[in-house]
């Protein structure tokens, strides 16, 4: 995985802090959606897949937990990482999306479910991806 700078519309996002800053600038309050994933070996890996995985490359991304947060609830990536550690669920990357806060928990849950289903089908390009340090990464 390599660090990248992502440009979406008029936003350039290289870190989680950039995402928070841009989300807070939006005219409507934002709700950030997070799907934490863990890299795992695929079922029945061949020797090359196993070798690459052991070198920290390849594998399949498996969603392990999801959560939503308002921009007021978030202070930094370090705080999000600290909160995630309390779940005792190991993760490698976090996929992130933003939406106007609908003030409706059911709608937020529907969007999180769609996001998880999209990731499980391999559709990853619509999301920003961050590592534990809050750096944007390219997983494609």
Give 25-64 pLDDT, tens digit per residue. Answer: 999 999 999 999 998 998 899 999 999 988 888 888 899 9
What average pLDDT does the chain have?
88
Q: What pTM, to 2 d.p., does this model score?
A: 0.86
- Averaged over 83-108, what is the pLDDT? 93
**What is the spatial distance between Cα 68 and Cα 83, in angstroms, rounded to a whole number?**
13
Torsion of CA 98, 76, 13, 123, to 10 degrees: -50
- ∠ at Cα 129 (127, 133), nearest 5°? 155
Widest Cα–Cα separation across the chain: 51
- Does residue 22 contact residue 13 with C-beta atoms inside 8 Å? yes
Residue in 123, 126, 128, 98 with CA at minimum distance from that of residue 12: 128
Predicted confidence (pLDDT) at residue 7 exceeds the cutoff of 60: no
pLDDT of residue 9: 52
Q: Which residue carries 């498996």 as its tokens?
A: 62
């Amino acid at each position: 995985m390599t660090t990248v700078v992502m440009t979406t519309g008029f936003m350039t996002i290289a870190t989680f802090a950039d995402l928070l800053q841009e989300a807070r600038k939006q005219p409507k309050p934002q709700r950030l959606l997070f799907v934490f994933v863990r890299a795992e070996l695929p079922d029945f890996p061949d020797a090359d897949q196993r070798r690459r995985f052991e070198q920290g490359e390849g594998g399949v991304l498996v969603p392990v937990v999801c959560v939503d947060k308002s921009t007021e609830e978030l202070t930094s990536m370090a705080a999000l990482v600290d909160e995630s550690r309390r779940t005792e669920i190991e993760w490698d990357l976090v996929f992130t999306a933003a939406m106007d806060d609908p003030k409706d928990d059911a709608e937020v849950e529907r969007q999180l479910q769609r996001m998880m289903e999209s990731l499980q089908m391999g559709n990853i390009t619509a999301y920003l991806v961050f590592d534990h340090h809050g750096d944007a990464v390219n997983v494609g």
